[in-house]
Amino acid sequence: MNALLTVEDLRVSFPGKGWGARRVEVLRGVSLDIAPGETLGLVGESGSGKTTIGRAILGLVPVQSGAITFGGERLDRVKARRRRQLARDLQVIFQDPYTSLNPSRTIGDTLSEPLLGQGIGSREARLRVGRLLDRVHLPADAAGRLPREFSGGQRQRVAIARALAIDPKLIVCDEPVSALDLTTQKTVLDLLLEIQEQTGVAYLFVSHDLAVVRFVSHRVAVIHRGEIVESGQAATVTTQPRHPYTRGLLLAAPVADVAEQRARRQAFELEYGGPNRTAER
């Protein structure tokens, strides 16, 4: 099967701090691909570059070199107008459900906006909003309410509905459950899996949590200091990792027993030579 998205030798750098400072290379030759209907989990600790990959795919950060191909078209070369057209097939779910929705707009207005932007009439847009709310298991009267009337998990359901509004082929999920409690995380993850089964949408699922990535992903890519250090089938990478950094992420996964958690962190430090920031989140 041909890839829906291909990233080849992607390099991204940002200006350094202070006058005359050298640029800081954030991504160092990253390559990955996603097939239609597949979930690729991209996992790494804070500062590893995982979010920058998603932002580069979405056109939110400039690409220094490399290629990003989506549906056979080079995203890193398209003009702004064409990029807006491609937005129909490429959507995003952001991390924080409390800031990703406009607090002054009703849920119905938020979900209608991308539909109206695609030239769909207001009556048809209202009908589609009702179907979107049903798809993410929210009541129809949610359309007339404001974001502040919903819990974090419900707001993230609205964000998912917004991403689905114009039937995308790929959704970049940028830490979509990290701001939620564990019970709500499971509910949202189950919803994402249900939607994928129903629609065939592909996900790039960005997370610092190896357990979450294992739950939703077909394949996993592990990123460390701007480089992919390991990739493969999710079941293999998350249970039999080859790279010491991946083994460290596995050791850093939280467990209920405090003594065992301490032993895991110490084992990571002995193996990898330093504390793991993911373990401290």
**What is the distance between the alpha carbons of residues 176 and 173, in angstroms, rounded to a whole number?**
6
Q: In this structure, are residues 202 and 34 in contact, taking their beta carbons and an 8 Å threshold? A: yes
Q: In this structure, are residues 216 and 206 in contact, taking their beta carbons and an 8 Å threshold? A: no
Is residue 243 scored above 90 in pLDDT? yes
Q: Do β-strands 202-207 and 39-43 pair in parallel, antiparallel, or remain unpaired?
A: parallel
How many angstroms from the chain centroid is the CA of residue 131? 24
pLDDT tens digits for range 193-225 = 999 999 999 999 999 998 899 999 999 999 999
Is residue 281 scored above 50 in pLDDT? no
**Across 242-270, average pLDDT:** 69
DSSP state of 66: E
**Across 68-85, average pLDDT:** 89
Of 97 and 101, the one with more pLDDT: 101
pTM of the entire predicted model: 0.88
- H-state helical runs in the chain: 50-57, 80-86, 107-117, 122-135, 152-164, 182-199, 210-216, 234-237, 244-252, 258-272
